[in-house]
Structure formats: C-alpha cells, structure tokens
Amino acid sequence: MEKGSFLSPFKAIKYLFQKPRTFLFPFQRRDASKRYRGFHLNDWEKCTGCGNCADICPNQAITMVKISEIEPKPGEKNERPQIDYGRCCFCGLCVDICPPGSLRLSRDYLHIDHATDTFVYLPKDEKTDKEHFFSEGEYSIFKANLSHRKKNFEGFVSDLEYTLFEPQRVPMKEVPPEERKLSFIEQVLGYDKEEAKKEAERCLECKLCEEACPAHLKISDYIKAIYEGKEEESLRKIFEDNPIPSICGRICMAHCEKACSLGRRGEPLAIRWLKRYTADSIKDYKKALEEKPAPPTGKKVAVIGAGPSGLSVAYFLRLKGHSVVVFDSLGGGGGMMRIGPPLYRLPIEAIDKDVNYIASLGVEFRFNTTVGKDVMFEDILKKYDAVYLGIGTTISRSTKVKHSQKCIPALLFLRENKIGEGFKVGKDIVVIGGGNVAMDVARTALRLQHMQYPGEKVVTKTVSLEDWDIMPAREDEIEDAKKEGVQFNPGWGPKEVVLDDKGNIKGLLCMKVKSVFDEKGRFAPTFYEDKEMFLEADMIIEAIGQAPDFSFIPEKLFTRLEFTERRKVKVDGNGMTSIPKVFAGGDIVNINLDAVTAIADAKVAAEGIHKFLTQKA
C-alpha cells in the first residue's frame, strides 16, 4: 500500500479562500422554499370549526378549543384548532383536509423561548392577529417565535386538485328540460346504489349539517350507513327524527346543505338526495324498521291536519303508546304536500308511502273530514285529552289590485292540477310572485300549455316585486324554470289587471319597484309611479303567499289564542298554545314555512304532549 505524503493535510488550505457552501445563521438568512411546511396559519373568518384537522392528525397534535367571543351559528362552530408543536410533524394533512381552506402552513419555522408550554399555540393569521405579525422591516430573527412572526409568509396551502376530500358531488340524473316540460314526469331520477355510495363517501362527518337542520337529524350516521351498504340501518337513523323521508327526500329545503363544510370551496354533500335514496331503496318500511308502539296509555290525542307537522306528531305520539286520530279535509295525507308541490317534484305515491307506514302503526286517519263542518272543534276538545293544530297555511293571499278577482289563486291552481280535474289554461300566462310557490305555479302552467296546445306558441312569465338579488325562491328552482322556458320580470309590481270590453283578461299593468323593504327591514314596497310596463296575458295567477284558516275555531275560543308580533301562533317551550291542552306547530307557528321545520315543531310538541298527558295521569 502506497504511503501518503505528510503534506496532504495542507491541501485543505486552498478551501479557506473559496466561498463557503454554508451561511452564517442568524447573521445571514435564506428563506425557506415556497411550499415549505412551517408553523400554521388560520383564517378565523373562513374557519368553520368543523374539526376535520383534529380528526386527521396522526399525532393528535390538534385540539379543538371553544372560543367564547365567537357566536356559533348554522354551519359554524365556536371552536378553533390549537396546535401542540411538541407533537406536530408538519405533515400538512390538516391543510389538505380543510374544507374552507382556512388552515395553511407558513414558511416560518423559528421559535425561540425558554418556556416549554409556549409550544401549544392557537394559530391565526395577519388578518385577525395584527399584534403578532410583522412586516419585513419590523421582523427580527432574534425575536422569532410564535408570538413574533413574519407577515405574508405563506408556504404550503391547500390545492383543490389534491385535497383529501372530493369537492364535486356525484351528478344527479334528471329528465332534460325539453322533455320534462311536456309532462308531469318526475324530474329528478334519484341515485342508484353505486352513485349513492360514492356521494356518501364524500361526507367528512363534521356534523355541521346536523346543527343547521331544524329537526337535528343524525345525518352523519345515516350517510355512513349508506356508504357501508346498510340501507335499513340508514332508514332507522332517519326515522329517529323524521318519519316522512320519502317526502323530505324530495322537497326538503336542505338547510343542512347550506351548512355543509364541503360547500365552502366545492359543492355541498347531496344530503337531501341521499335521504331520498334510502327511502326509495327500502320497499317495506315496516319490515325494515320493526317498530312497535309502547303499551297503550289510555290517552287520546286529536291531530288537526295531516301535513308534515301533523304526520310527525302522530308518529312520535303513537310510538309512546297514545291513541292518535288525525283529521284532514283532503282525501289523503300530506296536507299542503299533497296539493302544493307538483307531481314532477313530489309524486302522490311518494307521499302515500310515508303516510301508509304511519297508519300501519295504529294511527287513525279520518280523511275527507273538515273540522268546523263535519266535526266541531269544541267536540274534539271535549273528547280528546290533547289536541294538536297542524293546519298549515291554506288560503292564498291576493294583491287586491283593480280586477284582481279575475286572477286564479295559486293554491287552487296547484290543487286542481295535482289531485283535481285540472285547469284549462291560456296561451299567455302571467304568474305574480317570486317565491317557491310561484315557481311551482309557473312550471305547472308551462307544462299544461304544452300539453293542451302542442306545437303552438305559448308563453308563461312571472312578475315579482323582488329583483334577482332578493328573489325568495330557491336558486335551483329559478334555474330550472329558466331552462324550461319561463320568462322572468323581476323588480316590477302589479298595478291593475287590465280587462277588454267583454270583461276578459287582457294583461297586467305593472309599476317599477323602488324598494321592497323599509329601513327597518319590514315589507313596505314603494314604486316609481311614472315607470310602467304592460304584460299581455289571457290568464293571471296570484302566488304571493298564503295564510292560515282558523275559521273552525269558535270565536270565544279564538280570542284566547295568543299570537306573536309576526302573527304566528304563540307556543311555550312544550309547544302548547295559550288555550289549555291545545298544542300547535308547523307553518302557523314558525317562520321557515317548510317541512323539516314543521317536523322539528312536532318533535317538541310530541314531547310536550306526552309530558302533559303523563303528568296529568
């Protein structure tokens, strides 16, 4: 082996005069890479407190902490993530799973402090924590820690293409507009098993939706059951809080979807359609649910109205062992659901599936029975131990403009076309209103026009006080109406129904709306009197709202019924009205005017009635 020269070590001297590959930290600085994973940033204005970051953390480094100054609301908890940097491995999974994209990692990684408890940190960003974030000129590396951070130093952020959740929902199959407007075929075709499982897989189980749901359904549980292929278990979870899933799976206002965390940057989970999938996939509720009422209590409850509220309170009370009789003037159950939402949205067989199951538990239905005519309210009050009012809003309001008596009320129009003999419609129809009922009326009218005048020119148009930005109808209803050919005239109010010499409708004279609400937010429309528009029409339908019919209650009793400032029936925490043993819920009580809120009222009232009856016993 050849011996080395004793001069070899001196060869290293040449490197003393070359530029070093290292740098003198902290006197020299080099910023981390653009996608560096350093300390966390959290935009508190975007953060929903969903807790997905804490759930996914492999080291359990994240804890959700309640923040007293944040007011919880639908779709947002008053919690924010707290990071323990003694555990954090900076993997970035919390960023990739964050639905609103509020959580990011900065390029900041220096923390100089003697206290070990300073590793636990509640991250914010420069938007909400101006005290601890500093500009380039103000920032000092010698003070660097979690309380002295650099502004605008974002590193690893969420990219929707690579997130750990699927931002887009599984498309729902629908009958195309050009085809569906020719008949009353159901528009939405529903998910099949594979599609439902794929959509259910998107759920992050953060349960923000459950807080937003008025009836507080166990949404995460029933969706998880769908994913696992356990449809019967899914149905059982739904029925714990909602006994009309076939109805709600089609017409629910889906407050839950508005709160879904996935909807912050993508599309919310199709919760309503998944509920419908479960209801449709189970052919025999009774066999799947195996529910049995409790032993008879000997107490009798009368329910007036077989709408969502009445059906639900009857179901919950029957399971508690009470005898329940439901009175309704219609020939079947569903209340407003039976006459309002058109067949293309809610077929009769979907309603009857829910109603028939409730009847199978022993609830007695007396259809074609009008309280106040076929049976007196006073007699019901004497005969039954408790009475529940779920009568809904069944009287269409009128504009009361000149010749408005020539107009057709919306509910009459919808009722006759769904369960009656139907209407002969005109070729040029104007629908007054901008809400969901107006959309139902307009789309029904358009279908009837195409069916009654095939191949001929027909027009259906709406006119509403509200402009596009405040139109009360659901956005999807408006879009569907547009696709089918309904014409819109937002921001105009009716002034006069114009008649020809023979007294037939010639059209509608409208005024341009100046404002719909006053400075206090109250409904008080004002108009530009000099700006008018004439809409030709041979048929006008008014769809501007509904009111309840209390005419069945004797005057001496009605005077004892208390109302709120908004003319809603006043109830206590148990759902009882100011008339002893008379309870109420649904549209006459709440301001949401939808099925799921009616169910929520029924749950409260059912517990209240049960407590009232058992304490009385």
Q: Which residue type, as a one-letter code, is found at position 416? A: E
CATH code for residues 177-289? 1.10.1060.10
Q: Is residue 609 predicted with pLDDT exceeding 80?
A: yes
The second-level CATH assignment, the architecture, of 23-164 is: 2-Layer Sandwich (3.30)
Give 311-355 pLDDT, tens digit per residue: 999 999 999 999 999 999 999 999 999 999 999 999 999 999 999
Instruction: State how far the Cα of 310 lies from the Cα of 308, in Å rounded to an integer.
Output: 6
Can you read off the two tokens belonging to residue 461?
A: 């148009």
Can you read off the two tokens belonging to residue 547?
A: 């009111």
Q: Between these two residues, 18 and 4, which has the higher pLDDT value?
A: 18
Count, residues in the chain: 617
DSSP 478-518: HHHHHHHT-EEEETEEEEEEEE-TTS-EEEEEEEEEEEEE-
Q: Is residue 103 predicted with pLDDT exceeding 70?
A: yes
Fold assignment, 300-394+548-616: FAD/NAD(P)-binding domain (3.50.50)
Alpha-helical segments (H) within 550-594: 555-558
Of residues 222, 203, 220, 214, the one with CA closest to residue 263: 203
Instruction: State how far the Cα of 12 lies from the Cα of 570, in Å rounded to an integer.
Output: 93
Strands 40-42 and 103-105: antiparallel
Of residues 43, 134, 112, 25, the one with CA closest to residue 81: 43
Angle, helices 219-227/271-281, rounded to nearest 10 degrees:
60
pTM of the entire predicted model: 0.92
- Paired strand residues for 18: none
Q: Collect contacts of 477-483 with beta carbons under 8 A, ≥24 apart.
A: 477/436, 477/439, 477/440, 478/439, 480/177, 480/187, 480/439, 480/443, 481/439, 481/442, 481/443, 483/177
In the chain, domain spans? 23-164, 177-289, 300-394+548-616, 397-546
pLDDT of residue 8: 73
Give the mean pLDDT of 367-386: 98
Say whether 397-546 and 23-164 share the same fold: no
Q: Is residue 617 predicted with pLDDT exceeding 60?
A: no
Q: Contact, 39 vs 146, CB < 8 A?
A: yes
Domain 397-546 has CATH 3.50.50.60: yes
Q: Is residue 274 predicted with pLDDT exceeding 90?
A: yes
Q: Is residue 6 predicted with pLDDT exceeding 90?
A: no
Strand, helix or coil for residue 300: strand
Q: Is residue 616 predicted with pLDDT exceeding 70?
A: no
305's CB contacts (< 8 A; 6+ apart) are 326, 327, 328, 335, 389, 390, 391, 392, 586
Strands 120-121 and 40-42: unpaired
